[in-house]
Every structure is written in structure tokens, then in C-alpha cells.
């Protein structure tokens, strides 16, 4: 009887362990399905009328991952093999011009629209894949590292968007490190310092351990 009970308990523990590890599965660009031909997608953007840039991206690109923050807001990460960063910049500008657009830094570029920040970058996992991160303004304000954003935009502009003391307040919050520094497929952390930011229901993906410093 005791052996039977011990065996049952062991199986139960293993089942629980398996369930607990399910959230550790990482998104991979190898999961990108066959995409429509490039001309079709380009036409969708060029002939869009009244569609928001978020809707166009969601309708035409593969949703690779979702990053959400306990401080509210979320970011959807899409992936495509059809376009480079430069080509996506031009495609998006034709459909709906951004309010602000950064220079390209370290292979990344950020476009600011009314409600979202769109980051374009080459995937670290596959150089033929471009990642499109669409982060709502609440997520950016409450989770991003100010030093990361300052790579692309001035603190004066960021403070005008999020509040006059936003950059300093976020720096104070991020002193312990771990504030979100943009999506990457190579870094995962359980210790986010400035409030839990999660990838889906699992661990968030940030810009490296020094992103919030």
C-alpha cells in the first residue's frame, strides 16, 4: 500500500513539474508559417483606407510573441521574412505616417504613432527575419528603460509624451536593473527590478541585464 501511494505521489509530482515548465517554452522564428507573397502584402498596405497601422500589421504578419507587464499594457511581437527593417519603414510610412521616427541605431528603429511605439529590428535568431514590436503607449511608459529609449529619442520628447518627470522617475525605478529594453530572443530573466514584465504568461524578454541602468 505504501509503495503504491509513493508511486502515485511521484507521478503526480512529475505531472505538476511538466505543467510548470510549459510556460518556459520559447517562441522561435522557425515557427513562422508560409507567408503571402510580398506583392500581396505591399498592396494591402498601399491600398489601405482607414485602417490603423496596428490592424494592418496584425492582419499581415505572424504574431510571434506577446509581452505583458503587471504595470499594465502589452506589446505584440510579429515576425516576417518578407521585408528588411528599411523596407518596413517605407511600407509603414506609406500606409500611415508616424508622429516621430528615430534614426536607425544598432540595427533598430522606432516609429511613434498616436497610441503605439513600433520597433523594427533584425532577429538575433535568424538574420533573414525582421521583428516588429508593437507596444502600446501604456506599456512603454510603465515598463521601458528610459536609457534604452534615449538611444532613439531625446528625454525632452519622452517627457513631453509621458509627463515632465517621467525620465527621472523611471531612472530611479530602474536603478536595480531589469527594466524592459526591447524584445530579444536571447535574453530571459525572472528578476525585472522595476515591476514584473512578462512574456505571455512566462518570463519576459528584455534588452539585457543592464537595460534598466
Per-residue pLDDT of the chain (213 residues; tens, 9 = 90+): 555 455 544 444 344 444 444 344 577 888 899 999 999 999 999 998 888 999 999 999 999 999 987 567 889 999 999 999 999 999 999 899 999 999 999 899 999 999 999 999 999 999 999 999 999 999 999 999 999 999 999 999 999 999 989 999 999 989 877 689 999 875 433 333 334 343 333 234 433 323 333
Virtual torsion, Cα 199, 203, 206, 210, nearest 10 deg: 160
CA distances from 88 to 92, 171, 186, 195 (A): 6, 31, 23, 32
Q: Report residue 165: phi and psi, to 5°.
A: -110, 15
Entry pTM: 0.78
Burial tier of 165 (Cβ tally within 10 Å: 0-12, 13-18, 19+): exposed
Helix, coil or strand: residue 147:
helix
Amino acid at each position: 500500500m505504501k509503495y503504491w501511494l509513493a508511486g502515485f505521489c511521484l507521478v503526480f509530482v512529475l505531472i505538476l513539474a511538466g505543467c510548470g515548465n510549459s510556460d518556459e517554452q520559447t517562441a522561435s522564428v522557425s515557427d513562422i508559417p508560409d507567408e503571402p507573397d510580398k506583392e500581396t502584402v505591399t498592396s494591402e498596405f498601399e491600398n489601405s483606407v482607414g485602417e490603423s497601422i496596428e490592424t494592418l500589421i496584425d492582419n499581415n504578419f505572424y504574431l510571434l510573441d506577446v509581452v505583458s507587464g503587471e504595470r499594465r499594457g502589452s506589446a505584440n511581437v510579429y515576425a516576417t521574412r518578407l521585408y528588411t527593417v528599411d523596407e518596413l519603414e517605407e511600407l509603414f510610412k506609406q500606409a500611415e505616417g508616424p508622429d516621430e521616427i528615430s534614426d536607425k541605431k544598432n540595427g533598430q528603429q522606432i516609429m511613434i504613432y498616436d497610441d503605439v511605439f513600433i520597433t523594427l529590428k533584425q532577429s538575433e535568431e535568424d538574420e533573414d527575419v525582421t521583428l516588429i514590436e508593437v507596444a502600446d503607449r501604456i506599456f512603454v511608459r510603465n515598463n521601458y528603460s528610459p536609457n534604452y529609449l534615449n538611444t532613439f529619442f531625446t528625454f525632452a520628447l519622452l517627457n513631453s509624451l509621458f509627463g515632465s518627470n517621467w525620465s527621472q522617475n523611471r531612472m530611479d525605478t530602474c536603478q536595480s536593473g531589469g527594466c524592459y529594453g526591447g524584445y530579444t530572443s536571447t535574453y530571459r530573466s525572472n528578476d525585472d527590478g522595476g515591476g514584473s514584465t512578462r512574456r505571455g504568461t512566462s518570463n519576459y524578454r528584455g534588452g539585457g541585464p543592464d537595460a534598466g541602468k
